[in-house]
Amino acid sequence: MARIVMKFGGTSMAGTERIRRVANIVRRQQAAGHEVAVVVSAMAGETDRLVGFCREANALYDPAEYDVVVASGEQVTSGLLALTLQAMGCKARSWLGWQLPIRTDDAHAKARIEEIDSEALIASMASGEIAVIPGFQGMAPSGRVTTLGRGGSDTSAVAVAAAVKADRCDIYTDVDGVYTTDPRIVAKARKLPLVTYEEMLELASVGSKVLQTRSVSLAMKEGVRVQVLSSFIDESAPPADDLPGTMIVSDEELEGSDMERQLITGIAADKNEAKVTLTRVPDRPGAVASIFSPLAEANINVDMIIQNVAKGKGETDVTFTAPKADLVRTLAILEDRKDKIGYYRMISDDKVAKISVVGVGMRSHAGVASTMFKTLADRGINIQAISTSEIKVSVLIDEDETELAVRVLHTAYGMDAAA
Ligand code: ADP
Ligand code: ASP
Ligand code: MG
């Protein structure tokens, strides 16, 4: 007998018919002799709809009230799944974030889980009851509802798995594993049977939304075994216990497998960032800090930063990217400080995409970046910004060229599946 946490994403939960499929998968997992807890997302599109209402109500919305609105999507699906399981004769109940509770900090709209009281959950699972938990939500120290940032149900699932010391955390989604790139963009993408925590972390952080970044760092820290697999399966599909999906493993586990290490593990695209340029910023100590300190205080994560060479007159242009969701706040903060910073104009562009290639093989091989630049240049794709880490190279390009860029890079690095 094992203890398993199962998580189902929005597409899997979209409507009562799909929830019935999910209930069947859960019931079968329990019938295989395991204790199970289930974490669910809101129905596909629901969170976007709720975010839209918040924006309409108040463009500069209070994140605490935003959380009240957007957390409701998961409340609905957790109740519906418990009801469906009960209709099948299973013992099941929902546990809302504040009921367990799932304790978070008070960073509304992007809260971090600090602790989960697992006692009630463990007792419920041990009694043969299926515990259904809405993902994405938690409770601030003040008692108010919080949410964990978009895609946060993955993190809820991994946190629950760590809290109940689960043997495995299965993340069920609408693809059957982690691929070399989004299989919806590149038909020739290849499924990876294994991927290391480190590579998955980097892939997720640069836009492979198959797993939320924080869920991967938490799994790595807590040593949670995570599998990504499809919920769109029929009775004849191999059971999850046979590990049909992609397993996220440690470096040692990968070394011990017979999988050959490739130079590049994957390519990711991220259309969720916007570019902001401040022109003619005074070129003196403290100027850059006066731009980025207030953004950091407002909890806005700035990513790529470029400072141009000063143009003689002691002035320079500063360009950076920040999440599109924070663009309105970013512009408002910098507009407010225009005189203090002393820039001339502020220009923003939200029609950009960040394309990244990731692979631990990069550590020992030169030439990954130059292949990227040359491949994009050959297609006439202009690079607006570049950033690198030990195992990643990212470039910022025009959003309209995203699909083309990912496809040509996938081919250039020899990653295409055989036809
Ligand atoms: P869920 O609603 O189940 O959480 P998401 O939409 O958040 O699902 O994540 C699954 C999607 O991630 C897939 O449909 C796929 O389009 C996308 N995706 C992006 N990169 C990858 C990748 N490298 N491998 C698999 N899927 C990916
Ligand atoms: N429903 C939330 C979202 O769409 C959380 C999740 O699905 O993981 O971002
Ligand atoms: Mg997701």
Max Cα distance, the chain (Å): 77
Span 311-348, pLDDT tens digits: 777 999 999 999 998 999 999 999 999 999 999 999 99
pLDDT (mean) for 374-385: 97
Q: What atom in ligand 2 is closest to the CA of residue 151?
A: 8
pLDDT-based confidence at 115, cuts 50/70/90? very high
Q: For residue 183, give the nearest of 295, 256, 268 by alpha carbon.
A: 268
- Whole-number average pLDDT of the chain: 95
Ligand 3 centroid – CA 340 distance (Å): 40
Q: Determine the distance from the C-alpha atom of residue 197 to the mean position of all C-alpha atoms in its chain, rounded to a whole number.
A: 14
Instruction: State whether the beta carbon of 135 lies less than 6 angstroms from ligand 2.
Output: yes
- State which amino acid sits at residue 309: V
The finding on whether 8 has its CB within 6 A of some atom of ligand 1 is: no
User: Does the beta carbon of 323 sit less than 6 angstroms from any atom of ligand 2?
Assistant: no
Closest ligand to C-alpha of residue 9 is 1
Crossing angle (nearest 10°) for helices 197-205 and 213-222: 160
| 129 — pLDDT class (breaks 50, 70, 90) | very high
Quote the pTM value: 0.92
Q: How far apart are CA 63 and CA 276, in angstroms?
A: 23
Q: Is the CB of 209 under 6 A from ligand 1?
A: yes
Mean local confidence (pLDDT), 224-228: 98
The residues whose Cβ lies within 5 A of ligand 3, an ion, are: 9, 151
DSSP-assigned beta bridge partners for residue 307? 318
Instruction: Tell me what pLDDT residue 310 has.
Output: 74
Contact (Cβ atoms closer than 8 angstroms) between residue 152 and residue 212: yes
Which ligand number lies closest to the CA of residue 135? Answer: 2
pLDDT of residue 246: 98
Give the Å distance between the CA of 44 and the centre of ligand 3. 10
For residue 223, name the pLDDT band (cuts at 50, 70, 90). Answer: very high
Ligand 1 pocket check for 316: Cβ under 6 Å:
no
Residue minimizing CA distance to atom 5 of ligand 2: 151
* DSSP one-letter string for 145-202: EEE--TTTHHHHHHHHHHHTT-SEEEEEESSSS-BSS-TTT-TT--B-SEEEHHHHHH
Could you give the strand order of the β-sheet that contains 194-196, starting from the edge strand earlier in sequence? 92-94, 130-134, 35-40, 3-8, 168-173, 226-230, 246-249, 194-196
DSSP secondary structure string, 354-388?
A: EEEEE-GGGGG-S-HHHHHHHHHHHTTPPP-EEEE
